[in-house]
Structure 1
Amino acid sequence: MSAQPVTSVGTSSGDPGRNSSQDELKAGLKNRHLSMIAIGGVIGAGLFVGSSAGIAKAGPGILISYALVGAMVVFVMRMLGEMAAANPTSGSFSAYADRALGRWAGFSIGWLYWFFWVVVLAVEATAGATILEGWIPQVPQWGWALIVMVVLTATNLASVASYGEFEFWFAGIKVVAIGAFIVVGGLAVFGLLPGSDNEGAGLAHLTDHGGFLPHGPGAILTGVLLVVFSFMGSEIVTLAAGESEDPQRAVTKATNSVIWRIGVFYLGSMLVVLTLLPWDAKSIQDQGSYVAALDSIGIPHAADVMDVIVLTAVLSCLNSGLYTASRMAFSLGQRGDAPRAFARTNARGVPQAAILGSVVFGFVAVFFNYKWPTTVFEFLLNSSGAVALFVWLVICFTQLRMRGIILRENPEKLIVRMWLFPYLTWLTIGMISFVLVYMLTDESGRKQVLLSMLVAVIVVAIAVVRDRLGMNRTARVALETESKDL
């Protein structure tokens, strides 16, 4: 397939088969918005509600699991940052794959990523609705799901600045919550918190109760499978950068800060949990790791406080998911790989059709969750489960090619550089591939990988057929033109 040029937000590639209209996204995101989007992107609801399962499987060794996945994410973000700083665009890695690997790659990974996020919309809407129904049971769960979807759709339709403002406050609450948890928990661990009644807290919890690896070294890999999906969304900032005041600065800052963000929010908070309580404490599994930790030091209404924080994380993910899906649809429309309507924007620079098209599929997925939760919706979940890992792989292979392209065409734009290129890129490819292969040894993981691969093969096949048909049409037109000239 022929490689295509990457387009900046709101610009035409010059390809006659692609969008050449003057529709543009507006640079409505401020630097403070991008900073919080970058920070909030690595703090998903999975950190709050899914960590207890990882602790049960790996014990204190879950810290190594988080560190391994965190390193993988840092490397992927560094690669993506290198490409995004050189050419910020709403299509991000999909547009770069289009240029570096061929149109089939941009088409395939773009649609797979869109599919992943519209399924996430349904998951997060249902999770938020469950919490809200517990507070106000007079409104049924489906009613709350509808309300949160409509409100956040309206936010995204208003302007990109509205999305940024909502995300700024959502992410801010998550950051404050995690920061407060680490500070308060840390004080309790060292016996400096007034009124704390957890006298057994301390670093000894990391080696007591069976040792640091109570289930053996293999449990670290099991932990990796359980925590890897908590990191999904870290790449959103590179899509949003194209609508910011200073895209290059925003991408560079986000890329350089990803190490401390992962270190503080994931490793820091997990270390606090595991030093406040023994890893095998029953309360961690019954209440969740963060609620159990707060309860252990006498924080009143810990469960209610955590519900508010989890709801905020869910709404943040829902808000960003809708934004991300719509911008990927917009980019696909710009490149002629989606309906042209998706590439149109209104006077405020909002891609209304892309947003509404994405949210419609989100509503359909919500319906499937209520109507056929164990059949149709479970298929959607499993068939999108490994897509994020596929995306990371594509980013790696794309960066291997894009480094040479950038150096050849615009070497002055190589502001962010991947470390130890190409060795660390290949190491990351190996790490991601190993995770995918190891998932095949787990029943749940095997189903996700195989179904995700099935969907990926179908999408790639569609891309190949489209490209072949397009090439045939181009050849016919050229032949007809040549005949007329003769």
Structure 2
Amino acid sequence: MSAEPKTPLAPPASAGAPGVMRRGLTARHIRFMALGSAIGTGLFYGSSAAIKTAGPAVLIAYMIGGAAVFMVMRALGEMAVRHPISGSFGQYASRYIGPFAGFLTGWTYTFEMFVVALADVTAFSVYMGFWFPDVDRWIWILALIFFIAAVNLISVKVFGELEFWFALIKIVAIIGMIAGGIAIIVFGLGNQSENAAGLANLFDHGGFFAGGFMGFLAAFTIVMFAFGGIEVIGITAGEAQNPKKVIPKAINSVPVRILLFYVLTLGVIMMIQPWNTIDGSKSPFVSIFDGLGLTGAAHVLNAVVITAAISAINADIFGAGRMLHGLAEQGHAPKAFTSLTRTGVPWLTVIAMAGALLVGVVLNILFPDQIFFLIAALATFATVVVWLMILISHIRMKREIARDNLLPSEFPVPLWPAASWAAVGFIVFVIVMIGVVPGTRDALWVGLVWIAILALSYHFLVKPAGKKRRELEDTTAPIRIIPPSER
């Protein structure tokens, strides 16, 4: 797609070597990091909007979206096992599609993580409002940004451990919530009125497809936001211990678990509380137990969703920082972003992300009520664009392997090529729906402007700089004197 020379893939980090990122993430860290990034605000807070849009049929939307995400992750996994590098899919796009594709993918992913983190810090301030309704939201956001930045600056191992425990807390809470919800449904705990909770709530109040067919389709713009961030597994490849073993295990287990958590949890929620009473003013998890009079449980769950938000932001800043580091290695971002601390942390990228998140403070002061759902739509657009580039990079890699008769992949995607092309078609459909749905149309325009800015930046800034760099390398190369025997 590009006449320019392909950007070479950066070599993988060496364990313990100075000046490179360290392989300090174990299989346990990576598996829970992906869960931490994808099971967060989209489930605990954004699910309210999805339920309001589609009604109980949102469960089918999560199943379809989850299947597409699984294909994206398998495509990413095949590339990550073949090339376990820092910057991951940004560098894959450069290698297999072209330099601009890598530039677009890397910066759009960074934008995605920034926007998702904005949504997470916004949700965090809403959760804190459950306990402290008189405190301004921006105060909580400011405090959280400083805390997360400090954690990410210590070392990747400390980050991985903290993320493991954060993710474990919310996973245990979700399992407990599912079990407790089933007990409420079966035994009528908290509400003894006839038919107060049960399977009938999924089919009453307007029917299973209460939002209509268009409502069902529109829900995908919110559903896909919920899965955003799971691609951080690919980012970890450059810092994972034994990535060829760890990455496949994480990819095969995480999407299935996430799908089960979303479908089971939201199914239980809508069986306990009629879907048309979930108004989105607070997490449906909290509203259920609060409404049933279990105020103690509501406070515990609020603490859990706060932990979930912190976990997701933690993973967001990690992913964006590592992607910026990979972009800088390719000459697609300022060289200063390659700077590392003695513990192998790209410190400037962490500082840059924390500084950018201060925008969330301003936005929550100016637009305290509307900001979350516009941010969610922007995040959905950025997410699906990144996933589309991952799928196209993978398709190009598979074609190159077949054309050049290269060694087969150690972790190939299933149902190739039909499932891969089906996933591409689904991602394009979601992008179209972002433009069709009135509430998310602005996000599509902002996204298109973002891509236009990237195209101009690449053409006028990055491309000329790369050309000059290659010319300088050619002119400074040592001159080889040809011996008479070769003349």
The TM-score range, normalised by the shorter chain, is 0.7 to 0.9
Cα separation, 2, equivalents of 1:151 and 1:90: 25
Decide which of 311, 317, 320 is 2:315's aligned counterpart. 320
The Cα of 1:377 is off from its aligned counterpart by 11
The Cα of 1:319 is off from its aligned counterpart by 0.9
Tell me the residue number matched to 1:277: 273
Q: Are the equivalent residues in 2 in contact too, given 1:86–1:413 (CA < 8 A)?
A: no
For 1:465, the aligned partner's letter is F
Query: Do the aligned partners of residues 273 and 252 (structure 1) sit closer, same or farther apart at CA in structure 2, a change above 3 Å counting?
Result: same
Tell me the residue number matched to 2:110: 114
Q: Are the equivalent residues in 2 in contact too, given 1:25–1:349 (CA < 8 A)?
A: yes
Decide which of 340, 347, 363 is 2:335's aligned counterpart. 340
Cα shift readout 1:416-451 (whole Å, capped 9, x = no counterpart):
211222221111111111111122121222111111
Q: Are the equivalent residues in 2 in contact too, given 1:276–1:296 (CA < 8 A)?
A: no
Tell me, yes or no, if structure 1 residue 422 matches structure 2 residue 422: no
The Cα of 1:306 is off from its aligned counterpart by 2.7
Q: Are the equivalent residues in 2 in contact too, given 1:31–1:250 (CA < 8 A)?
A: yes
Tell me, yes or no, if structure 1 residue 447 matches structure 2 residue 448: no
Query: Do the aligned partners of residues 292 and 376 (structure 1) sit closer, same or farther apart at CA in structure 2, a change above 3 Å counting?
Result: closer
Cα separation, 2, equivalents of 1:371 and 1:209: 36
Aligned ranges 1:128-207 → 2 under 5 Å:
128-132=124-128, 135=131, 141-191=137-187, 197=192, 199-200=194-195, 201-207=197-203
The Cα of 1:102 is off from its aligned counterpart by 1.0
Tell me the residue number matched to 2:55: 59
Tell me, yes or no, if structure 1 residue 35 matches structure 2 residue 15: no
Query: Do the aligned partners of residues 411 and 189 (structure 1) sit closer, same or farther apart at CA in structure 2, a change above 3 Å counting?
Result: farther
Query: Do the aligned partners of residues 62 and 381 (structure 1) sit closer, same or farther apart at CA in structure 2, a change above 3 Å counting?
Result: closer
For 1:269, the aligned partner's letter is T
For 1:421, the aligned partner's letter is W
Q: Are the equivalent residues in 1 in contact too, given 2:137–2:364 (CA < 8 A)?
A: no
For 1:33, the aligned partner's letter is H
Cα separation, 2, equivalents of 1:249 and 1:479: 39
Query: Do the aligned partners of residues 198 and 410 (structure 1) sit closer, same or farther apart at CA in structure 2, a change above 3 Å counting?
Result: farther
Cα shift readout 1:341-375 (whole Å, capped 9, x = no counterpart):
21121221111122112222222443354357799
Aligned ranges 1:213-224 → 2 under 5 Å:
213-224=209-220
The Cα of 1:197 is off from its aligned counterpart by 3.4
Query: Do the aligned partners of residues 399 and 31 (structure 1) sit closer, same or farther apart at CA in structure 2, a change above 3 Å counting?
Result: same
Cα separation, 1, equivalents of 2:354 and 2:32: 24
Tell me, yes or no, if structure 1 residue 6 matches structure 2 residue 9: yes
Cα separation, 2, equivalents of 1:389 and 1:70: 13
The Cα of 1:129 is off from its aligned counterpart by 3.6
Q: Are the equivalent residues in 2 in contact too, given 1:10–1:22 (CA < 8 A)?
A: no
Tell me, yes or no, if structure 1 residue 251 matches structure 2 residue 262: no
Q: Are the equivalent residues in 1 in contact too, given 2:45–2:123 (CA < 8 A)?
A: no
Q: Are the equivalent residues in 1 in contact too, given 2:337–2:348 (CA < 8 A)?
A: yes
Cα separation, 1, equivalents of 2:171 and 2:404: 40
For 2:123, the aligned partner's letter is A
Q: Are the equivalent residues in 1 in contact too, given 2:51–2:58 (CA < 8 A)?
A: yes
Tell me the residue number matched to 1:233: 229
Deviates more, 1:410-419 or 1:64-73: 410-419
- What TM-score do the two structures reach when normalised by structure 1? 0.87
Tell me, yes or no, if structure 1 residue 48 matches structure 2 residue 44: yes
Tell me the residue number matched to 2:79: 83
Query: Do the aligned partners of residues 111 and 344 (structure 1) sit closer, same or farther apart at CA in structure 2, a change above 3 Å counting?
Result: same
For 1:125, the aligned partner's letter is V
The Cα of 1:253 is off from its aligned counterpart by 0.8
Deviates more, 1:366-375 or 1:267-276: 366-375
Decide which of 393, 401, 410 is 2:388's aligned counterpart. 393
For 2:13, the aligned partner's letter is G
The Cα of 1:380 is off from its aligned counterpart by 7.6
For 2:392, the aligned partner's letter is F
Cα separation, 1, equivalents of 2:364 and 2:295: 34
Decide which of 59, 62, 69 is 2:65's aligned counterpart. 69
Cα separation, 2, equivalents of 1:362 and 1:195: 41
Quote the RMSD (CA, aligned, Å).
3.2
Tell me the residue number matched to 1:309: 304
Cα separation, 2, equivalents of 1:380 and 1:55: 18
For 2:384, the aligned partner's letter is L
Q: SS of the counterpart of 1:301? A: helix
Q: Are the equivalent residues in 2 in contact too, given 1:26–1:348 (CA < 8 A)?
A: yes
Query: Do the aligned partners of residues 327 and 413 (structure 1) sit closer, same or farther apart at CA in structure 2, a change above 3 Å counting?
Result: farther
Q: Are the equivalent residues in 2 in contact too, given 1:9–1:24 (CA < 8 A)?
A: no
Aligned ranges 1:280-291 → 2 under 5 Å:
280=276, 282=277, 288-291=283-286
Query: Do the aligned partners of residues 203 and 258 (structure 1) sit closer, same or farther apart at CA in structure 2, a change above 3 Å counting?
Result: same
Cα separation, 2, equivalents of 1:296 and 1:371: 31
Cα shift readout 1:380-431 (whole Å, capped 9, x = no counterpart):
8766551111101111111111123456789557122112222211111111
Tell me the residue number matched to 2:485: none
Cα shift readout 1:243-286 (whole Å, capped 9, x = no counterpart):
12221222101211134213321111111122223333x25656
For 1:209, the aligned partner's letter is H
Deviates more, 1:46-55 or 1:307-316: 46-55
Q: Are the equivalent residues in 2 in contact too, given 1:44–1:231 (CA < 8 A)?
A: no
Q: SS of the counterpart of 1:47? A: helix
Q: Are the equivalent residues in 2 in contact too, given 1:197–1:298 (CA < 8 A)?
A: no
Query: Do the aligned partners of residues 276 and 416 (structure 1) sit closer, same or farther apart at CA in structure 2, a change above 3 Å counting?
Result: same
Q: SS of the counterpart of 1:327? A: helix
Tell me the residue number matched to 2:326: 331
For 2:357, the aligned partner's letter is G
The Cα of 1:138 is off from its aligned counterpart by 8.7
Tell me the residue number matched to 2:99: 103
Query: Do the aligned partners of residues 478 and 279 (structure 1) sit closer, same or farther apart at CA in structure 2, a change above 3 Å counting?
Result: closer
Q: Are the equivalent residues in 2 in contact too, given 1:119–1:365 (CA < 8 A)?
A: no
The Cα of 1:471 is off from its aligned counterpart by 6.2
- What TM-score do the two structures reach when normalised by structure 2? 0.87
Question: May I ask how many residue pairs the two structures share in their alignment?
Answer: 474
